Structure 1
Amino acid sequence: MSYEKELAAAKKAVSLAARLSQGVQKTLFQSEVWTKSDRTPVTAADFGSQALVSIVLERELQPATFSLVAEEETGELRKQGSEVFLEGITKLVKDTLASEESYADSPPLSTEDVLNAIDCGKSEGGCSGYHWVLDPIDGTRGFVRGEQYAVGLALLVEGKVVLGVMACPNLPLASAVGETDMSSKENVGCLFFATAGLGAYVQPVEGHSLPQKVRVSSNENLEEAKFLESYHKPIPIHSSIAEKLGITALPVRMDSQAKYAAVSRGDAEIYLRFTLCGHRETIWDHAPGFIITTGK
């Protein structure tokens, strides 16, 4: 099965979510960053992105049943005192949908519509049927700093990943790994996508340029190899591994699953990830971007 319709819907949903997030990042103030119960940050872009993806997938695919496993929930948004924040999210979603020509004549959304769209992400998934898995803003800390982040979406069918789409709005269209500020380039904004068995591709997140196939690096000279690691405190074992392999270049630190995208197109040869002691791993630490690393 080719999943062409599902892939087209996913690309449209993720592209619109990227459009919304780019607008938020440009005007984000620290006072607009909330802290969740697990002490991780969340912004209007996280909620708005999740609502948008939910709405677009349902409109485009009109499934008999719709299962979305996503990160955000509306508990805090429904509490008294959140009205202004919620109104802002609703406006973001409405304005972004209105910017898409095919949705120009759609009925206007209410705040409750947006809340319900976010709550569509409460599915528990499972090993049977169709399940979408979404990280609406992966790398929120990088997003808040104005750096790298990603919007990641995957489709699981009978427990297997069959397609993945990931937008990296601040990732340059041409490799810039190793440069100090990768978000300072003019030509930025990548949309990566892959269908199982058909390779991985990239195209600009905005515009109509033809997709280009991505391939992992063929560099076998470890002394020249570039390796990526997460934008956390340095992890000693990473330096130890690099030394044993003979890698002389300093690691490039980057937030989000944009690292997977960078490796998939040959920007770097290695991505090291060893969990810090006490760090709680979740599905969002690994999915859905890992399918993108299969581009050969």
Structure 2
Amino acid sequence: MKISHILLLCGGLLSQLHSIAQTDTTASANSDSTIITTPPLTAADTTIRYRINGTYLLSAWQDLKYSVSRPVHWKGKDFVRLGIVVGGAGALMAADYEIKQAFLSNRQTFWTSVTNEIEPFGNTYSPFLVGGMYLTGVVTKNRQLEHTSLMTAKSLLISTMIYTFAKSIIRRGRPTYFDDPFVYQRPYLMDKKYTSFPSGHMLTVTSVATALAEAYGEEHPWVPYVSYGIAILTGTTRLYQVRHWSSDVWVGASLGYFVTKGIFKRHKALEHKKAMAAMAAAAGR
């Protein structure tokens, strides 16, 4: 074979290899350019913010069912918490009389005036605070504040319903009328002397305190200290004014705390479920 033919053949092979290389590079580039990127999730994809409408009312009904049915789904840690509440109530019941006498023997005009100012946090102030939060949120278009007020109101309503049922069944004598902490009457007795267990004031203020701590505690660490501090002071006024036994206050606080915690926990689970659904939908596009 002549040298010229060999050169022509080599040139043809190089040209072919170059063409193949170009095709591979182009295919690789085209392949890279077709990778689908999932858009980042927005706040609308991951958060649930309530307004007063049918959705909110339905959520209140669902949260009520959730709260009432939770004991059926309890696991190890839940029974430990129940043991702490029941054990604490039992220990306080054994000391209820002595605690009542200790407060009675230390009553002073100054402390009486102080407790009179704090006591309304358990009935008047708390509902007004929630209502004020809602109106402020609506007027200032602060969706977080509006939502938090509605979550707090829902938690307070549900815990109050459970508390009212418990009080109608357990007709315990108030320390205002009895020295014996173990005076009880039949269920549904319509007599205010037997409305001690649990403490409604403590349930109310603890429900609100827990809701505020759940909503703002992570961003503002001082909120739980202030809210729970006010709750503890309110419970103390009920003992000082001899309106409740110490075990009434303990159970009222426990009921408000755990019901409200459960409702906020369920709300976070619903937001997580919404986020997962949004991610799945975005990946499928």
Question: Which protein, 1 or 2, shows the higher relative CO under an 8 Å CA cutoff with sep ≥ 6?
Answer: 2
Q: Which has the higher helix share?
A: 2
TM-score, scaled relative to structure 2: 0.23
Q: Which has the larger radius of gyration?
A: 2
TM-score, scaled relative to structure 1: 0.23
Q: Which has the higher strand share?
A: 1
